[in-house]
Chains A and B, each alone.
Chain A
């Protein structure tokens, strides 16, 4: 691997400079500029109309909900949302672009000047990436190349789906920062419920602009663009590989060609896209079919007020409100569903720490095993909270509680009903315990004698025997008291 060692020598002298462009599909029922559904089955072109087919004479009309979601996303990313923004036409020919132009926003975007704390601390400072702009645009259709021998097939079902494009400043300096940026962004978009933000399914798409410059310099180098990234790992790996490539070109005295690179996630390879034109000239101009988008101050402040608690704020509150380790808080706040569920369980059970253990333990394990998402899990937050409460109040043991949980997964019965039915409530009634202690002493005379003779460590063994006899329902606290009393008697 001589090239890789050469690369690592080269990379040490250079600094990675990255800006990200993230396209995110908005969760609307209908398309951006026509009332075709955004969800569709397998039939190609079934969800198309004169507008999204680009038929002569058809005109666009903007979807209000798309504007609302884009505004919410912009506010969640700390942007300034402008009272007036303009839709422009980005002109280029491609068969999946029916009008010959994409309706997008260019010099007057919806929102600008945001920032994103990506949750990393470097040199004692949180890493904050500036966001240049958030703008609205429409998605293109899809071209299918492997279906017919000599033709490409065009499906315009996706044509016109509303997107926001979120553009960062070139503030990112490492692959881990790039990964953290996408992870944080995805989490926020999910929190504010504007998008499914699923990279595999293409509802979140990431393009990377990357360049290398000698360490200690400030001018930007020539950049390349990496496309076709469909996972966060892909983002991280591709920038490492492309950075190494650029560094070795520069070290060898070469120059970087400004071009588009495509990432092949299976082979972990990067290669230039075939481009017939050296540069593009999109001939942007304001779309005369669409007057300026005017948003009232009232609309913007309403959307701001309606923002849910964002991940950062929620993490901070969890750490001050609950006594849970930081690592657990990260997991519990990973999604809104998880965080909401945890808080309901914590409140119902009145023991946040135990609730956290339950959510991260049995509940998560069960969800993983069954493949049912947490928010659809059959044991509702309320029911699980009630179960944990039984444990907190000392009415069932942890072992019994776990058994009850298993019963709850397959029935709608509440925890206390199951506990009673299955005889899993703790027995703290002296007479029952005394009988079991007597039986155990009779069955294990040697251990009993040593215990009563003063060997305290054998108490645990005897407790274990009694617990087994009681199928876990004996109250261990009471049991220990009674056994200690026997020693005194002896």
Chain B
């Protein structure tokens, strides 16, 4: 399998990376040069996989008791832009006065 310039532009968009147009052909070559080495995996014989994978220990759970790891610095000290306690971003294209990505398209 190999990637095209279109693929690279698409994944760059998904990853929110601005790639200058002149960099794209180089990246296509680099990625394909890496991906070619991955083809060997398609030939691996998975029949040797143990059916009985060792029992998973499972996830440790936390009691429902308040007490999070404290912040030793104010949010304002590390945030690029804050106002009245909010983190600020350029105004979002949206429908209402408030919302969240859970309420609308994550675009």
Residues on A lying within 8 angstroms of B by beta carbon are 23, 28-30, 34-37, 43-46, 48-53, 58, 61-67, 84, 92-97, 139-148, 150-156, 158, 205, 227-228, 260, 262, 273-277, 280-281, 283, 290-294
Contact = CB atoms under 8 A, between A and B. Distances in A.
B77 to A, nearest CB: 12
A274 B68 contact: no
Contact of B106 (A34, A46, A97): A97
A158 B102 CA distance: 11
B57 interface: yes
A43 B82 CA distance: 13
22 contacts: A29-B64, A29-B66, A35-B65, A36-B68, A49-B69, A50-B69, A51-B68, A61-B61, A94-B106, A96-B100, A97-B101, A140-B100, A143-B100, A148-B83, A151-B91, A153-B87, A156-B87, A260-B104, A274-B94, A280-B107, A292-B56, A292-B59
Contacts of A34: 68-69
A167 to B, nearest CB: 15
A321 B106 CA distance: 52
B101 A35 contact: no
B17 to A, nearest CB: 11
A140 B14 CA distance: 19
Contact of B102 (A23, A147, A276): A23
B62 interface: yes
Contacts of A84: 56, 58
A276 B93 CA distance: 10
B45 interface: no
Nearest to B88: A151
A275 B107 contact: yes
Contact of A61 (B60, B81, B106): B60
How would you classify the secondary structure of chain B's contact residues: helix, strand, loop or mixed?
loop
B85 interface: yes
A25 to B, nearest CB: 11
Nearest to A45: B85
Contacts, number: 181
A396 to B, nearest CB: 48
A143 B106 CA distance: 12
Nearest to B90: A151
B6 interface: no
A96 to B, nearest CB: 5
Contact of A142 (B59, B69, B81, B98): B98
Contacts of B85: 43-46, 155
Closest 8 CB pairs of A and B: A294-B58, A153-B86, A65-B64, A49-B68, A94-B101, A64-B61, A146-B97, A44-B85
Contacts of A30: 64-66, 68
Interface residues of B, number: 45
Nearest to A64: B61
Interface of B: 14, 16, 56-71, 75, 81, 83-107
A4 to B, nearest CB: 25
B66 A36 contact: yes
Given A29-B65, A292-B58, A273 B95 contact: yes
Nearest to B64: A65
B62 A260 contact: no
Nearest to A35: B68
Nearest to B55: A294
B64 A64 contact: yes
Contacts of B98: 142-146
B101 A92 contact: yes
Nearest to B95: A262
Contacts of B96: 145, 228
A228 B103 contact: yes
A144 B103 CA distance: 13
A89 B58 CA distance: 18
Nearest to B63: A64
Contacts of B106: 92-94, 97, 280
Contacts of A28: 64
A166 to B, nearest CB: 15
A320 to B, nearest CB: 38
Contacts of B64: 28-30, 63-66
Contacts of A46: 85
A35 B87 CA distance: 21
A28 to B, nearest CB: 5
Contacts of A29: 64-66
B69 A154 contact: no
Given A35-B62, A144-B98, A227 B104 contact: yes
Contact of A154 (B14, B86, B95): B86
Contacts of B71: 48-50
Given A63-B62, A150-B90, A154-B87, A277 B107 contact: yes
Interface centre among B56, B102, B106, B107 (most CB of A within 10 A): B102
Given A63-B61, A64-B63, A262-B95, A152 B89 contact: yes
Contacts of A148: 83, 86, 88, 91
B79 to A, nearest CB: 9
Contacts of A52: 68
A51 B69 contact: yes
Given A48-B75, A94-B101, A148-B86, 9 more contacts: A30-B65, A62-B62, A67-B61, A143-B89, A152-B88, A158-B100, A227-B104, A275-B105, A294-B57
Contacts of A150: 90-91
